[in-house]
């Protein structure tokens, strides 16, 4: 790999900025100053910029607690995206959210540039569980639980796989229910459409789990951290 691409991929700077660093003599490979941006870097080479080691990492994985009002997208001309909430040093090339959470939906979102893992987690044939908690306008009953468990057919003829619905609480005076739901697919506005089909409306929706990956309770809305090696290993297995 060329040294300028290596450093740009590691977010040291743009290609133009990297070229300036090389021209200034700030970049070394195994202690030797780099003279041209075209110089090649091998896997075991020691790359430093101003004496600081820049280790290469091909893929990056961030566990993100999505807040309301932010798009699950890589970029948008008019609205803020989850990528915009990452620190500048963490905005690696190719990062994208795995799946989408609606603008007003909160909770667990995985952001990565590992396209293969992204595919494995979202592929319909993989049936990776997604767990949500929601506040619903309406009184969820055992009949609702059974309807969801049987698999639903929506008004537009969309056929859904069986879903596990748990009633956490029902407030009859407020005509509201708190529920937990586990689905194995991620169709457009799926949970909102499911409750709409039984005459109810989702007021708040929060994703807690995707495959083996759980939302970190230490992360506040809008905060994120890198996945641990153990989390990544388990997540890859859940997508197999």
Instruction: Please tell me whether residues 136 and 202 are part of one structural domain.
Output: yes
Instruction: Please tell me whether residues 93 and 134 are part of one structural domain.
Output: no
Q: What is the pLDDT of residue 114?
A: 95
How far, in Å, CA of 14 to CA of 77, rounded? Answer: 21
Q: What is the pLDDT of residue 142?
A: 97
Instruction: Please tell me whether residues 43 and 31 are part of one structural domain.
Output: yes
Closest CA to 49 of 88, 23, 16: 23
Instruction: Please tell me whether residues 118 and 67 are part of one structural domain.
Output: yes
How many other C-beta atoms lie within 10 A of the C-beta of residue 230?
9
Structurally, the chain folds into a number of domains equal to: 3
Residue 42's CATH number? 3.10.290.10
User: Which active-site residues does the annotation give?
Assistant: 102
Instruction: Please tell me whether residues 68 and 28 are part of one structural domain.
Output: no
Residues 55-92: pLDDT tens digits?
999 999 999 999 999 999 999 999 999 999 999 999 99
How far, in Å, CA of 117 to CA of 61, rounded? Answer: 10
Q: State which residues form the domain around 170.
A: 129-210
How many other C-beta atoms lie within 10 A of the C-beta of residue 106?
22
Is residue 111 packed enough to be buried (19+ CB in 10 Å), middle (13-18) or exposed (0-12)?
A: buried
Q: What is the pLDDT of residue 239?
A: 66
- Which helix (H) or strand (E) element contains residue 181? strand 176-183
Within the chain, which residues score under 50 in pLDDT? none
Instruction: Please tell me whether residues 84 and 110 are part of one structural domain.
Output: yes
| 111 DSSP β-pair partners | 62, 97
Instruction: Please tell me whether residues 218 and 190 are part of one structural domain.
Output: no
Residue 205's CATH number? 3.30.70.1560
Instruction: Please tell me whether residues 32 and 103 are part of one structural domain.
Output: no
- Which helix (H) or strand (E) element contains residue 197? helix 190-197
Q: What is the pLDDT of residue 240?
A: 66
Whether the Cβ atoms of residue 15 and residue 21 lie closer than 8 Å to each other: no
Q: What is the pLDDT of residue 70?
A: 97
């Amino acid at each position: 790999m060329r040294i300028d691409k290596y450093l740009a991929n590691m977010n040291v700077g743009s290609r133009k900025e990297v070229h300036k660093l090389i021209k200034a003599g700030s970049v070394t490979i195994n202690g030797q100053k780099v003279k041209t941006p075209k110089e090649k870097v091998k896997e075991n080479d020691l790359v430093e910029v101003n004496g600081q080691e820049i280790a290469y990492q091909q893929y990056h994985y961030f566990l993100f607690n999505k807040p309301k009002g932010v798009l699950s997208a890589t970029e948008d001309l008019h609205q803020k995206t989850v990528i915009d909430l990452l620190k500048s040093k963490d905005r690696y090339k190719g990062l994208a959210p795995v799946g989408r959470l609606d603008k007003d939906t909160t909770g667990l979102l995985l952001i990565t540039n590992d396209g293969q893992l992204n595919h494995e987690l979202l592929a319909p044939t993989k049936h990776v569980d997604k767990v949500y908690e929601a506040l619903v306008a309406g009184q969820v009953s055992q009949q609702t639980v059974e309807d969801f468990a049987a698999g639903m057919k929506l008004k537009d003829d969309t056929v859904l796989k069986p879903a596990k619905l748990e009633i956490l609480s029902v407030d009859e005076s407020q005509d509201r229910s708190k529920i937990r739901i586990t689905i194995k697919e991620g169709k457009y506005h799926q949970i909102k459409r499911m409750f709409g089909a039984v005459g109810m409306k989702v007021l708040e929706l929060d994703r807690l789990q995707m495959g083996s990956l759980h939302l970190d309770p230490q992360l506040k809305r809008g905060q994120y951290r890198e996945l641990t090696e153990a989390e990544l290993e388990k997540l890859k297995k859940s997508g197999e």
